[in-house]
Amino acid sequence: MKALITGITGFAGSHLADYLIDQEGIEVHGIKRPRSRIEFLRYDVNYHEGDINDLSSILDIVEEVEPEYIFHLASQSFVPLSWKAPRHTLTTNIIGTQNILDAAHRYAPKATIQIAGSSEEYGLVDPEECPITEQQPLRPLSPYGVSKVAADLLGQQCHRSYGLQIIITRAFNHTGPRRGEQFVTSKIARQLALIKLGKAEPVLELGNLEAVRDFTDARDMVRAYWLAVNRCQPGIPYNIGTGTGYTISQVFSKLYKIADVKAEMKQDPQYMRPSDVPRLLCDSTAFRYATGWKPEIPFEQTLQDLFDYWVERLK
Ligand code: GDR
C-alpha cells in the first residue's frame, strides 16, 4: 500500500511519515517543494519534488505513485501570516487543495484522501457552545480560517460529485517536538530553552494570554489521521482533540516550571491578532466512536518533550 503525504517536511507531515514507516506494509511517499529542507525525516521515504500550487507537478506525481492513501497536510498554517499574506494563504490552502483533488480524481480515483481541516474553521464560539461538535456553525475569524473552511467544503463537494473517498479531519491544536518556532508553545519553550542555556535575556514577549486552546500531542494526532483514513466515513467532517483546554497563560506556567529558570513575561501588542478565536474546546465523540481513538500522551509530557527538543537543538 502506498501513502502519499503532502507537507511531508513539515511538523505534522514528518510525524505522520515516522508513524507510517513503522506500520506493516506501507510504502511512504512525500511531496516536497524543491527548496524545502529535509530536517526530520528518516531515510526510507520516497520524495517527489513538486508544489501543491503547481497542478502539473501534482498530476505527474499522483500518476507516477498511484497511491492508495493521500494525506493532504501541506498548507500555509500560521494564522497571523494569513492577515499579512491573505492571497498567498487562500491560494495555497484552497487552490492547492483543489489541485490535489483534481489529481486524485484523474489518477487515483479509488484512493482514500484525507483533507486536514482545522478548529480555526469554527472561529467565533460562545462559551456555551463549548465543547464544539461538528454541527457548530463555521464563523472563521481569519483568512486562514476561511481557507480551511473552503478546503473542507471542497472535500465534501468532491465526495458528493465524484464519489471520491474524502476523509475530513478538523484537528484542534497540536504540538510537540519539531513544532515551528513561531507557534505559541514552541515560541515559549524555545525562549525558555535559550534562557536555560544562558543564550538569551530572561524575557518573553507574548500576545493574547487569555485564549483557550485544546492541545493534542502531534504523535497522537498522526495516529488519529491513520485511524481516520481507515475507519471514518467519507464526506463528513470529524473533530479531533482532547476535550481539555488551557489558557496560553497556563501553558506558559507549565513550561516555566519545566524549564526551572527565572524569566519575566510581557504582553506585546505586536503579537495580538486583529481578531483571535477566544476559546476552542473539542468534542470528538463522533471520531472516538468511529475509530476508538483516544489521546495517550499527557500534555505535561508533550511540553517536557518540546522543551527537551529545543534544549537539544540550541545547545
Ligand atoms: P493557532 O496556533 O493560531 O491556534 O493555530 P498558535 O500557536 O499560533 O496560537 C495559539 C494561541 O496563542 C496565542 N498567542 C500567541 N500565538 C503566537 N503564535 N505567538 C505569540 O506570541 C502568542 N501569544 C499568544 C494566539 O493568539 C492564539 O490564541 C494552530 C495552527 O497550527 C493552525 O495551522 C491550526 O489549524 C490550528 O492551530 C488548529
Helices and strands per DSSP (H, E), number in the chain: 11, 13
Task: State yes or no: pLDDT of 44 exceeds 80.
Answer: no
Cell numbers describing residue 309? 527538543
Same domain? 16 vs 48? yes
How far is the centre of ligand 1, averaged over its atoms, from the C-alpha of 207 (Å)?
10
Cβ contact 132:281 at 8 Å: yes
Instruction: Give 143's DSSP letter.
Output: H
How far is the centre of ligand 1, averaged over its atoms, from the C-alpha of 118 (Å)?
12
Task: State yes or no: pLDDT of 290 exceeds 90.
Answer: yes
The confidence score (pLDDT) of residue 312 equals 98
**CA-CA distances (angstroms) from residue 76 to 115, 124, 216, 302, 304?**
14, 21, 20, 24, 27
Cβ contact 29:65 at 8 Å: yes
Mean pLDDT of 298-305: 98
The confidence score (pLDDT) of residue 62 equals 98
Query: Which atom of ligand 1 is nearest the CA belonging to 142?
Result: 3
Same domain? 100 vs 22? yes
Q: What is the CATH number of the domain that holds 183?
A: 3.90.25.10
How far is the centre of ligand 1, averaged over its atoms, from the C-alpha of 79 (Å)?
7
pLDDT digits (tens, 9 = 90+) for 92-107: 999 999 999 999 999 9
Domains identified in the chain, total number: 2
Same domain? 149 vs 92? yes
- State which residues form the domain around 122: 2-174+215-240
pLDDT digits (tens, 9 = 90+) for 116-174: 999 999 999 999 999 999 999 999 999 999 999 999 999 999 999 999 999 999 999 99
Nearest to 108 by CA among 154, 71, 151, 157: 71
Instruction: Give 91's DSSP letter.
Output: I
Residues with CB under 6 A from ligand 1: 77, 79, 118-120, 171-173, 182-184, 187, 206-208, 211, 213, 248, 271, 273, 276
Q: Which residue lies with its CA nearest to atom 10 of ligand 1? A: 184
Of 38 and 121, the one with more pLDDT: 121
Same domain? 136 vs 253? no
Cβ contact 273:208 at 8 Å: yes
How far is the centre of ligand 1, averaged over its atoms, from the C-alpha of 211 (Å)?
9
The confidence score (pLDDT) of residue 187 equals 98
Q: Which residue lies with its CA nearest to atom 33 of ligand 1? A: 77
Cβ contact 172:116 at 8 Å: no
pLDDT digits (tens, 9 = 90+) for 168-227: 999 999 999 999 999 999 999 999 999 999 999 999 999 999 999 999 999 999 999 999
The confidence score (pLDDT) of residue 37 equals 83
Same domain? 36 vs 94? yes
Same domain? 192 vs 125? no
Q: Which residue lies with its CA nearest to atom 28 of ligand 1? A: 211
Task: Give me the chain's average pLDDT, please.
Answer: 97
Cell numbers describing residue 288? 472516538
Q: What is the CATH number of the domain that holds 43?
A: 3.40.50.720
Classify the C-alpha dihedral 277-237-152-10 as positive or negative: positive
Measured CA to CA, the distance from residue 209 to residue 252 in angstroms comes to 9
With a CB cutoff of 8 Å and minimum separation 6, the contacts of 163 are: none
Mean pLDDT of 33-45: 83
